[in-house]
């Protein structure tokens, strides 16, 4: 069985496509990435001091099945794994900052910081 197009005809068609006035399509070629020079300059704290972060206090956790969650209704109670009087986790942008004692200050909850987490280098 003879091919429908010869190799020369295929090349001629490809060349016509490249010479047409339509958009030229070619694969992207990136230069290899090289690590930049290390700078010893540290950003002064004043540059980031006013950036807002989210602070949360986590009293405890538990695991529930989807079935148990779907069965919840107003008035239901969820027992947490934490014990009464146990320090709560203080989180900053979901990262552990430390532990604290939950307080009631006037009509609001508060937390007294009792320990700070170790700083990771």
What contacts 31, CB < 8 A, 6 or more positions away? none
Task: Confirm or reject CATH 3.40.50.12160 for domain 54-116, answering yes or no.
Answer: no
Per-residue confidence (pLDDT) for residue 115, from 0 to 100: 96
Which of 10-19, 34-43, 107-116 is the most confident on average? 107-116
CA distances from 96 to 43, 81, 84 (A): 23, 18, 20
111 C-beta neighbours (distance < 10 Å), count: 19
The pLDDT value recorded for residue 11 is 76
User: What digits encode the pLDDT tens for the residues 29-58?
Assistant: 888 888 877 776 777 888 889 999 999 999
């Amino acid at each position: 069985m003879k091919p429908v197009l010869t190799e020369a005809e295929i090349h001629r068609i490809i060349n016509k496509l490249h010479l047409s006035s339509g958009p030229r399509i070619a694969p992207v070629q990136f230069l290899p990435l090289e690590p930049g020079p290390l700078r010893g300059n540290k950003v002064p704290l004043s540059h980031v001091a006013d950036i807002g972060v989210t602070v949360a206090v986590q009293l405890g956790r538990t695991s529930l099945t989807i079935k148990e969650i779907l069965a919840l209704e107003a008035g239901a109670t969820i027992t947490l794994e934490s014990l009464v009087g146990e320090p709560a986790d203080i989180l900053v942008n979901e990262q552990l900052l430390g532990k604290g004692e939950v307080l009631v200050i006037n009509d609001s909850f508060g937390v007294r910081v009792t320990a700070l987490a170790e700083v990771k280098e």
